[in-house]
């Protein structure tokens, strides 16, 4: 007489796998929904176009959220088992959810610290300034009417002219050490006060077309999207976090930004 088999029936094992897959799928759907809401915050406010590209916001968000969204459901798949006491199963799933939430919040904090806060006209170019670029010891010197880190997305401001040769020298030395002029609140001023300097530094788009004839179609498309002609549009180079530089298209009379072009115009 053979001893009774201790293995689980085939249909029971299959049912257990199906339960795990169902639980992981539900968790994945909830995680994707939370990630979509986070994306609205990140790309709707913190990294609007073109900052999601030139500041690396898209890549950073995808990296942080994809890891969080994938790991949570995988852990749920590993720990879900209806054979566990209900209280123990609820505890395990709660721990998984809390760990995933903590990971998401940390990821969003990282994205927040790296987010662009200002587009700054700086002497003869524009610079995207990120929250992490701003020296904390200078935040108290931010001019009235300008926020250090506006929650509604990057704002357009300018760096004021140097008031003395000494200030020029000190700012240059600081820039060589990594603290750029545009990232210093003590140099900030409203963009409207620098319109004359912007227009003086800007160059006609016709020069851009002459310099890059192989990009003529791309330049024309950017002008068409902005609803401008080359004759009424100027440009300045743009520096951001990533290696490639961009170009800012400007109204030739008002210095208002009318478009962007992924072209290194230095």
Copy the structure tokens of residue 125: 């170019």
Amino acid 10: pLDDT: 46
First and final C-alpha spacing in the chain: 89
CA distances 132 to 143, 148, 232, Å, are 19, 11, 36
Amino acid 66: pLDDT: 79
Tell me the pLDDT band of 242, cut-offs 50, 70 and 90.
low
Amino acid 159: pLDDT: 96
Least confident piece of the model among 36-45, 61-70, 114-123, 149-158: 61-70
Are 19 and 205 within 8 A, CB to CB? no
Residue 28: phi and psi, rounded to 5, are: -65, -40
Q: What is the mean pLDDT of the chain?
A: 87
- Cα 137 to chain centroid distance, Å, stands at 24
Q: Which tops the pLDDT comparison, 92 or 15?
A: 92
Taking 60 as the threshold, does the pLDDT of residue 152 lie above it?
A: yes
Q: What is the pLDDT of residues 128-150, one digit of tens each?
A: 999 999 999 999 999 999 999 99
Amino acid 121: pLDDT: 97
Q: What is the pLDDT of residues 185-227, one digit of tens each?
A: 999 999 999 999 999 999 999 999 999 999 999 999 999 999 9
Span 163-185, average pLDDT? 90
Amino acid 145: pLDDT: 92
Radius of gyration of the chain (CA): 27
Amino acid 11: pLDDT: 45
Least confident piece of the model among 64-73, 131-140, 171-180, 205-214: 64-73
């Amino acid at each position: 007489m053979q001893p009774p088999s201790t293995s689980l029936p085939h249909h029971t094992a299959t049912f257990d796998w199906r339960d795990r897959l169902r639980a992981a799928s539900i968790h994945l759907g909830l995680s994707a929904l939370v990630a979509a809401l986070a994306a609205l915050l990140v790309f709707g406010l913190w990294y609007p176009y073109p900052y999601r590209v030139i500041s690396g916001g898209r890549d950073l968000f995808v990296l942080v959220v994809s890891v969080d969204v994938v790991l949570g459901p995988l852990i749920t798949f590993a720990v879900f088992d209806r054979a566990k006491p209900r209280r123990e199963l609820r505890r395990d799933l709660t721990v998984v959810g809390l760990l995933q939430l903590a990971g998401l919040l940390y990821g969003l904090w990282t994205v927040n610290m790296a987010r662009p806060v200002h587009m700054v006209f700086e002497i003869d170019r524009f610079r995207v300034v990120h929250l992490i670029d701003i020296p904390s010891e200078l935040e108290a010197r931010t001019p009235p009417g300008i926020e250090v880190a506006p929650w509604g997305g990057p704002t357009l401001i300018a760096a004021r002219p140097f008031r003395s040769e000494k200030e020029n020298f000190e700012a240059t030395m600081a820039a060589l050490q990594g603290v750029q002029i545009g990232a210093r609140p003590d140099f900030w001023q409203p963009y409207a006060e620098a319109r004359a300097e912007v227009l003086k530094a800007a160059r006609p788009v016709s020069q851009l077309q002459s310099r890059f004839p192989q990009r003529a179609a791309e330049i024309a498309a950017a002008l068409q999207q902005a609803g401008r002609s080359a004759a009424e549009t100027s440009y300045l180079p743009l520096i951001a976090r990533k290696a490639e530089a961009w170009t800012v298209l400007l109204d030739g009379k008002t210095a208002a930004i009318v478009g962007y072009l992924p072209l290194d115009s230095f």
